[in-house]
Chains A and B, each alone.
Chain A
């Protein structure tokens, strides 16, 4: 393995460790940073991922490692990782020892813009780097009405904590169309995609909304294929899936969350009881591949709740059907039913991600497919880009 690759893998291990363990810092450390001006601030539109809530105190959204990997910034004052600020420079440290200089991410220009109804675009479309935009149409989940929230999820608690203070609420299709158009204009020289997601909508009325949003994005961007992912709960009527395709979404996502069918029942009672059960989720994912094609369907597993073998069995099964199964590092969030639990160790995750990436290769998924389904800064995207030497740092080295 080349030196650069080996350095990048070390950075990747650190990225995973930090995602898992968080970073300890005094919130005042960012007073030297032009947050919300030059640097991109975090907008808490769906989930609080920090160990503690911090209403009214802005954090940077993320930062870049020396070799260009994008690290998430998850605040946890118990972590052995920390930030140090010294003479105008921020460092990532471990047990107080500096690891490297961090570079916070530049704020997109469209964050300064407003939609025609005066809403700040930064609360409509979050920029998640590499030309990828995240829209959470709603910051609440109707599963709470029956006490059936997924046990790892804190969407409703996050809304209660941050909704009003951050000005986050339901987004109208027009607001989404305008914000996506602004973001796409700004990032027109590279790949672009938009992910439309959110909590369950009462009476499962999301399909009409998704179609209206697609119309609005097409209208405002002028793009017939706007490279959108529709993240939806498994519909009871499989025919609904065609509608998303017809509306112009390039990819679709239905997050099964847990592969083990029994643990799924316990951890995702709403997804089990209101969507026809685990078997129906699988049927939906397989039908989505029929409609959208191999590598154009994504499903996520919250990794660390069930045994690793089960997660890998799920990823492999889904891959064999053409579904890109992702794993995210479980962060037991404030306000979720599993608050106080702890995710597995970083090395558990590193092993998991390497194995998932090997499965994705085995079933022929390309980086472009992973990008289209999930964006370009996740661990699995990083592994592909390290292996294929397509990260910008490889070009920089050659030049």
Chain B
């Protein structure tokens, strides 16, 4: 293995570790950073991922490692990882020892723009890097009405904490269309529409209106959109998303073990026809959208690893790209106070997951098109293995 690849694999492992353990810092450390100007800030559009809430104190969205991997920034004051500021440079450290200097992410231009009704575009569409946008049409979930929230999820708590303070609320199709158009003009090329459950499952009409608005404002018939939806009772609804122009679709099963799914995702179980129906919906989505154009997510670390891997392999065999996202027991979720498995557990899982994708022939482009964050671990591993990260070109040059 080349020494560059070796260095990148080490950075990937560090990226996983800092995601699981978080990073400790004094929030005042960013006083030297042009946050919201040159550098991109976090907006709580769906979930608080930090260990503690921090209303009114802005953090950077993430940073880049020396070899160009994009790290998320998850605040946790208990972590052995920390940020150090010294003579104009920020460093990532472990137990106080500097690991490397970091480079915060530049703010996209559209974050400075407003929609025609005066809404800040930065609360309409979060920039997830590499040209990808995450649009949470709603920052609440109707499952709470029956106390059926997923136990790991803090969307409703996040809304209560940050909704008003950050001006985050329901997004109108026109706002979405205008924002996407602005971002696409700057080079963005993929978007995910997502959010909590809508009361009475009325999301389909909304998704179709949003697709129309995006097409109108971007002028693109294929705008490379992912519709992230709960499993509909009536599977024929899935065809409508395809007809509306979404290139990919996502239905997040969250937990593979059917029994743990029942316990952890009571709403997804009771209000969507149960685990079997989720699997059926995913398989039908592949019939409609095609192999490698359907995504699901498992929140990894709640169920045993074997179960997660069994799910990822089963779904891959059916043409579904199932991601494993590291579980962060969030403030306000029912599982607050629990802890995610050790970083080594997650590292092993990510390597095995990526090997499964390769086995079933999924391409990097497919991964890019159907995932909300194109800088995930599986993306990194593909781009290291295939030597397609910019750093490889830089080395040749």
Contacts and interface: CB of A to CB of B under 8 A. Distances in A.
Contact of B337 (A262, A341, A344): A344
A263 B259 contact: yes
Nearest to B262: A262
Interface stretch (B67-75, B82-90, B299-307): B299-307
Given A151-B304, A307-B151, A337-B306, A342 B339 contact: yes
B209 interface: no
B337 A309 contact: no
B338 A304 contact: yes
A266 B263 CA distance: 10
A139 to B, nearest CB: 23
Given A151-B304, A266-B259, A309 B334 contact: yes
Interface residues of B, number: 24
Interface string B128-149: 0000000000000000000000
Interface string B327-349: 00000001101111110110010
B345 A340 contact: yes
B4 interface: no
Contact of A347 (B261, B304, B337): B337
B29 interface: no
Contact of B263 (A260, A340, A347, A351): A260
A332 B338 CA distance: 13
Contacts of A342: 339-342
Nearest to A51: B342
B257 interface: yes
Contact of A307 (B261, B335, B341, B342): B335
B314 to A, nearest CB: 16
Given A263-B260, A263-B263, A266-B260, A343 B304 contact: no
Interface string B104-134: 0000000000000000000000000000000
Interface-centre pick from A307, A308, A310, A347 (highest chain B CB count, 10 A): A307
Nearest 8 A-B pairs (CB), nearest first? A340-B345, A348-B337, A342-B339, A262-B259, A262-B262, A262-B263, A265-B259, A266-B259
A348 B337 CA distance: 6
A335 B303 CA distance: 16
B304 A345 contact: no
Which of B260, B263, B307, B335 has the largest count of A CB atoms less than 10 A from its CB? B263
Contacts, number: 55
Interface of A: 151, 260, 262-263, 265-266, 304, 306-310, 332, 337-338, 340-345, 347-348, 351
A107 B338 CA distance: 37
Interface in B223-277: 257, 259-263
Given A307-B334, A309-B334, A340 B305 contact: yes
Nearest to B333: A307
Most B-side CB within 10 Å, residue of A308, A338, A341: A341
Nearest to B338: A344
A309 B263 CA distance: 12
Contacts of B263: 260, 262-263, 306-307, 310
Contacts of B303: 266
A71 to B, nearest CB: 21
B337 A345 contact: yes
Contacts of A348: 337-338
20 contacts: A151-B304, A260-B263, A262-B260, A262-B263, A263-B259, A263-B260, A307-B151, A307-B334, A308-B337, A337-B306, A341-B301, A342-B339, A342-B342, A343-B339, A344-B338, A344-B339, A345-B339, A347-B337, A348-B338, A351-B337
B341 A341 contact: yes
Nearest to B336: A348
B345 A341 contact: yes
Nearest to B260: A266
Contacts of A309: 334
Contacts of A338: 304
Nearest to A78: B342
Interface string B298-332: 00010111110000000000000000000000000
Contacts of A347: 337
A340 B347 CA distance: 11
A350 B175 CA distance: 47
A382 B307 CA distance: 38
Contacts of A343: 339
Contacts of A344: 337-339
Contacts of A307: 151, 263, 334-335
A263 B304 CA distance: 11
Contacts of B341: 332, 340-342
Interface in B31-73: none
Contacts of B301: 341
A331 B340 CA distance: 13
A343 B342 CA distance: 10
A348 B263 CA distance: 20
Contacts of B261: 262
A34 B213 CA distance: 79
A157 B371 CA distance: 39
Nearest to B339: A342
